[in-house]
Structure 1
Amino acid sequence: MGVSPRTIRTLLEYKAIWYGSRIIVVDPAHTSQTCSACGAVDAASRIAGPASSAPVAGRCSMPT
């Protein structure tokens, strides 16, 4: 891409102020590891590949 993440964040913060919006910075720890349905955390999900898919009808297949 050729642009650092910090540069992108700086530009977004500038534009947010310009348009009267705000940027909410989220700690990236566990963001792609936590199941949105049951809250289980799969520590191997970053190593194993993409985040697990959403369960169907409340059934979660993530290890707890």
Structure 2
Amino acid sequence: MARVVAIDGPSGAGKSSVSRIVGGKLGFLHVDSGALYRIMTWQALVRKVDTDDPDAVAAFAPTVEIECRPEN
């Protein structure tokens, strides 16, 4: 079973810094979930998806391909 560690907190608290350090020591991949949300929002805007329409968003979401890979 895959292990997942979530770090939550307010903006500027150091979540990304801590998660990169801890993830590096544990051999985990750091995923910035905020960046994933921003990618989806950007793609919805580019594709002119009606974000007030849940059905339109549900149909749009699976069409976005996001590739996650280690930086190094």
Q: TM-score, normalised by structure 1?
A: 0.38
Q: Say which one has the larger Rg.
A: 1
Q: TM-score, normalised by structure 2?
A: 0.36
